[in-house]
């Protein structure tokens, strides 16, 4: 894994569409071998089916020359080169600053500066305080600095001017109203030897500087952690008040971050209209210096959301150049595939899905790959970084090679379960980078657990198509309507509004849905409108690792309030009959049939399964089919009144706990061995127009399907339901 890495520009493609693959070899010179393989089972657990992949003939197969491609983290705004700035000698720059790591090295605020050539100007944080650097490349610049470190997470107005005629440089930092007493004003005034601070044909950057003058791709450094607001630039040396009151019409640049919050454009209100663009997705829809707390959504008062929160570890796209492309041939079967990349010392897999075009189903069954959930967990570092993880699990955590590699390579970015270096929450995650936990042979979770369903469908002879939930977000219910039955994977946790509406409309139209997992349809997300591989989720409730700041709980992508679907009146119970009730990670339990399982409506489910038989007391995760994360039937949350709870979990340990959002409704006893509310419910109910829903309520169900070659009662029940759901006879 460590010798070669790759990623793809899209997660799925239909025949005729093109996939572009980006590859980097660690040593930069090694050749590598490329093969396209169809993935079936991706887990090598000794008690499972074993790894299975089928090589596919492809024009991209063969040897290729390797190269090393770098990843540049850190967000900023880039304003294109402006000839008016090329000859600028006397100038004033001003910006509002809310620093989160003020004393963490030199950080750029507003810069037209090349760090390699030491030319241009840069307004920076120097030892925590504001400073202005000027340079013509002749030597090391001596910053004019206030020398007073800012108080972290407090707003300041920073103004810096340079009078070329007198040589006077002035830097002022002033705490804004509401700052604590320890935040004091500071000023530095000093003559500076005449120096040309121009940098012809260079961009202006906010929250970073230009690292080197050459290269097709802009290399940045000096990244700032914190919020910036209303950066302004003017000709001539003005004082703080004059600059603050200067009309936009008289400025060289007056950028307003409160405009276009749902996109990546940064608007310049000056006559020059030098609009910028964000790089690496800094966090927008964050409160500005004048947020009153009266309005909680940026859509209500965008002028109070005039800030952008930058981080030195933001990453939206690795930005590698493509090494090869694959046009999906018309005869390629729908399924899960990968580009297998191998050097003499290691290999990597870059998975992708071949899907049919909308309305051109090739099978009666559709399996939905939970790509949004995979993206949410992309390169998560919880295995090492969370000090409470093993306590929560009640067991030691098994570390994989990917976990160790990620600790050594922070440039690969993090997940929605991690926090930025400055402690603020991750609200965006991208798959446009190497993602080490969406690979065969890694933890039996999400992708690899879902591939157990794919293996089971193949081994049981069920013809099926595959597509991603990202495809559903784009194409809607039209993608689902072609199928008699739709299956989810083990953990479809992250769901956008278009995805939720598509599933709702599919069932309303008579569709049949098998939800083969737990903790599904839980978080509300939004997809980036231009880059399909990027999602946003602001977790303000439910199971989370951090707290979103007040006023910042609405998505920047679509303006919707983040959080749980259940708190938007659309609990998963309404869709699939069950919703999250608890979780535990030390071991798994099993199911026992209930009295409702003997209802004639449910007879088809249990053909071949004994009345007192323990269901799923085996499995590759925790030794059972009921566990990890659990869903229960709750009428108060919208579970249909006619839903049958046909089986219920048993054998859960004391390490199972209720999900935070359901605790008020449960017993005072907390743990799964005492609390009847912490459980997995297996549910069946009929839907409109002859449709139906079957839900297992457990993440571990999928990893028990292939036990003993698929000759087990978990497989039997799943097969019974699927065959009945494929039968055209309507449900009453």
Average pLDDT over residues 97-118: 96
Average pLDDT over residues 135-143: 85
Q: Tell which wins on pLDDT, 540 or 320.
A: 320
Last residue of a domain, one of 354, 377, 410: 354
Q: How many CB atoms lie within 10 A of CB 676?
A: 11
Query: Interhelix angle for 713-726 vs 447-460, to 10°?
Result: 70
Tokens matching residue 24: 């980097």
- At 316, the pLDDT band (50, 70, 90 cuts) reads very high
CATH number for the domain harbouring residue 388? 3.40.50.880
Does residue 156 fall inside a structural domain?
yes
Does residue 148 fall inside a structural domain?
yes
| Tens digit of each residue's pLDDT (9 = 90 or more) over 269-294 | 999 999 999 999 999 999 999 999 99
Whether residue 12 is predicted with pLDDT greater than 80 in this model: the reply is: yes
Rounded to whole angstroms, how far apart are CA atoms 377 and 439? 13
Does residue 360 fall inside a structural domain?
no
Q: Are residues 551 and 687 in the same domain?
A: yes
Q: Are residues 488 and 382 in the same domain?
A: yes
Rounded to whole angstroms, how far apart are CA atoms 393 and 302? 42
Q: Are residues 604 and 584 in the same domain?
A: yes
Q: Are residues 189 and 47 in the same domain?
A: no
- At 650, the pLDDT band (50, 70, 90 cuts) reads very high
Does residue 412 fall inside a structural domain?
yes
Give the pLDDT of residue 212: 86
Rounded to whole angstroms, how far apart are CA atoms 487 and 182? 58
Give the pLDDT of residue 213: 79
Residues spanned by the domain of 160: 76-310
Domain count, the chain: 3
| Tens digit of each residue's pLDDT (9 = 90 or more) over 35-44 | 999 999 999 9
Q: Are residues 592 and 619 in the same domain?
A: yes
Last residue of a domain, one of 310, 341, 373: 310
CA separation, residue 383 to residues 318, 404, 447, 718 (Å): 23, 9, 17, 32
CATH number for the domain harbouring residue 139? 2.60.120.200
Average pLDDT over residues 373-384: 90
Q: Are residues 335 and 439 in the same domain?
A: no
- At 28, the pLDDT band (50, 70, 90 cuts) reads low
Give the count of alpha carbons within 13 A of 15, CB side only.
Answer: 13
Does residue 118 fall inside a structural domain?
yes
Give the pLDDT of residue 181: 67
Tokens matching residue 648: 């219920």
Q: Are residues 285 and 433 in the same domain?
A: no
28-32, 103-107, 527-531: segment of lowest average pLDDT:
28-32
Average pLDDT over residues 42-70: 94
Give the pLDDT of residue 646: 98
Average pLDDT over residues 537-559: 90
- At 71, the pLDDT band (50, 70, 90 cuts) reads very high
Q: Which of 337, 340, 312 is nearest to 324 (CA)?
A: 340
Q: Are residues 388 and 348 in the same domain?
A: no
For residues 703 and 444, the answer to whether their CB atoms sit within 8 Å is: yes
Average pLDDT over residues 709-721: 97
Rounded to whole angstroms, how far apart are CA atoms 554 and 574? 24
Please name the helix (run of DSSP H) or strand (run of DSSP E) that holds residue 590, with its range, or none: strand 579-593
Give the count of alpha carbons within 13 A of 380, CB side only.
Answer: 19
Give the pLDDT of residue 196: 75
Q: Are residues 170 and 64 in the same domain?
A: no
Whether residue 18 is predicted with pLDDT greater than 80 in this model: the reply is: yes
Q: Tell which wins on pLDDT, 2 or 527.
A: 527
Give the pLDDT of residue 194: 76
Residues 200, 202, 205: CA angle, nearest 5 degrees: 140
Last residue of a domain, one of 331, 354, 377: 354
Please name the helix (run of DSSP H) or strand (run of DSSP E) that holds residue 504, with its range, or none: helix 497-508
Does residue 265 fall inside a structural domain?
yes
Does residue 732 fall inside a structural domain?
no
Whether residue 672 is predicted with pLDDT greater than 90 in this model: the reply is: no
Percent of the chain with pLDDT over 70: 97
| Tens digit of each residue's pLDDT (9 = 90 or more) over 604-624 | 999 999 999 999 999 999 999
Q: Are residues 694 and 587 in the same domain?
A: yes
CATH number for the domain harbouring residue 343? 2.60.40.1930
Does residue 731 fall inside a structural domain?
no
CA separation, residue 657 to residues 629, 651, 679 (Å): 10, 14, 10
The mean predicted confidence, pLDDT, of the chain is 93
288's CB contacts (< 8 A; 6+ apart) are 96, 227, 229, 257, 258, 303, 304, 305, 306, 307
- For residues 196-230, one letter each, b for 16 or more C-beta atoms within 10 angstroms of the residue's C-beta and e for the rest, the string is ebbbeebbbbbbbbbbeeeeeebbbbbbbbbbbbb
Q: Are residues 457 and 530 in the same domain?
A: yes
Give the pLDDT of residue 545: 76
Average pLDDT over residues 128-151: 92
Q: Are residues 258 and 400 in the same domain?
A: no
Average pLDDT over residues 30-37: 94
């Amino acid at each position: 894994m460590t010798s070669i890495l790759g990623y793809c520009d899209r997660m799925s493609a239909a025949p005729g569409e093109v996939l572009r693959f980006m590859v980097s070899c660690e040593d930069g010179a090694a050749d590598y071998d490329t093969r396209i393989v169809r993935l079936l089972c991706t887990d090598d657990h000794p008690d499972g089916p074993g790894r299975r992949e089928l090589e596919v003939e492809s024009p991209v197969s063969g040897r290729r020359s390797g190269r090393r491609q770098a990843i540049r983290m850190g967000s900023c705004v880039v304003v294109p080169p402006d000839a008016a700035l090329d000859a600028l000698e006397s100038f004033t720059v001003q910006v509002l600053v809310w620093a989160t790591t003020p004393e963490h090295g030199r950080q750029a605020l507003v810069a037209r500066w090349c760090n390699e050539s030491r030319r241009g100007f840069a307004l920076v944080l120097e030892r925590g305080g504001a400073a202005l650097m000027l340079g013509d490349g002749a030597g090391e610049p001596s910053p004019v600095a206030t020398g007073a470190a800012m108080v972290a997470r407090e707003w300041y107005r920073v103004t810096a001017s340079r009078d070329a005629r007198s040589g006077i440089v002035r830097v002022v930092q002033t705490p804004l109203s509401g700052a604590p007493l320890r935040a004091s004003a500071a000023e530095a005034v000093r003559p500076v030897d005449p120096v040309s601070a121009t940098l012809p044909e260079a961009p202006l950057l906010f929250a970073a500087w230009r690292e080197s003058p050459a290269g097709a791709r802009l290399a940045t450094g000096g990244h700032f952690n914190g919020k910036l607001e209303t950066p302004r630039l003017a000709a001539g040396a003005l004082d703080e008040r004059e600059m603050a009151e200067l009309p936009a019409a008289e400025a060289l640049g007056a950028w307003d971050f409160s405009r276009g919050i749902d996109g990546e454009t940064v608007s310049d209100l000056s006559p020059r209209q030098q609009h910028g663009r964000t790089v690496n997705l800094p966090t927008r829809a964050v409160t500005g210096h004048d947020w009153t707390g009266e309005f909680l959504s940026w859509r209500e008062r965008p002028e109070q959301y005039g800030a952008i929160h930058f981080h030195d570890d933001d990453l939206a796209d690795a930005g590698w150049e493509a090494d090869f492309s694959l046009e999906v041939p018309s005869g390629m079967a729908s399924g899960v595939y990968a580009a297998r990349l191998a050097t003499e010392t290691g290999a990597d897999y870059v998975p992708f899905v071949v899907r049919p075009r909308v309305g051109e189903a090739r099978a009666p069954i559709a399996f939905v790959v939970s790509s949004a959930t995979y993206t949410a967990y992309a390169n998560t570092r919880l295995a090492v970084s969370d000090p409470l993880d093993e306590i929560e699990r009640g067991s030691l955590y098994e570390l994989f090679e990917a976990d160790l590699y990620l600790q050594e390579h922070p440039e690969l970015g993090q997940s929605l379960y991690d926090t930025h270096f400055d402690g603020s929450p991750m609200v965006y995650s991208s798959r446009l980078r190497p993602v080490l936990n969406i690979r065969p042979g890694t933890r039996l979770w999400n992708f690899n657990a879902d591939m157990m369903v794919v293996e089971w469908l193949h081994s049981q002879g069920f013809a099926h198509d595959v597509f991603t939930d990202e495809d559903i977000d784009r194409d809607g219910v039209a993608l689902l309507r072609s199928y008699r039955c739709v299956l989810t994977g083990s953990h479809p946790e992250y769901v956008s509004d278009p995805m939720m509406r598509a599933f709702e409309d599919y069932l309303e139209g008579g569709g049949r849905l098998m939800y083969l997992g737990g903790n599904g349809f839980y978080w509300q997300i939004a997809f980036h409108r231009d880059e399909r591989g990027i999602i946003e989720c602001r977790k303000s409730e439910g199971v989370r690792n951090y707290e979103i700041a007040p006023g910042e709980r609405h998505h920047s992508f679509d303006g919707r309030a983040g959080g749980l679907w259940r708190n938007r009146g659309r609990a998963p119970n309404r869709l699939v009959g069950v919703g999250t009730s608890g979780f535990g990670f030390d071991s798994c339990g099993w199911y026992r049939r209930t009295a409702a399982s003997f209802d004639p409506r449910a007879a088809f489910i249990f053909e071949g399964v004994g009345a007192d038989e323990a269901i799923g007391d085996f499995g590759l995760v925790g030794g059972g089919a009921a566990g990890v994360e659990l869903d229960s039937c709750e009428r108060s949350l919208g579970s249909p009144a006619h839903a049958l709870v046909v089986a219920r979990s048993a054998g859960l340990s004391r390490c199972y706990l209720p999900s935070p959002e359901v605790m008020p409704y449960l017993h005072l006893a907390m743990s799964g061995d005492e609390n009847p509310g912490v459980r997995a419910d297996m549910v069946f109910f009929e839907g409109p127009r002859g449709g139906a829903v079957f839900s297992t309520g457990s993440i571990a169900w999928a990893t028990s399907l292939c036990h003993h070659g698929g000759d087990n009662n978990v497989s039997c029940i799943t097969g019974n339901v699927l065959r009945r759901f494929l039968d055209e006879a309507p449900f009453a």
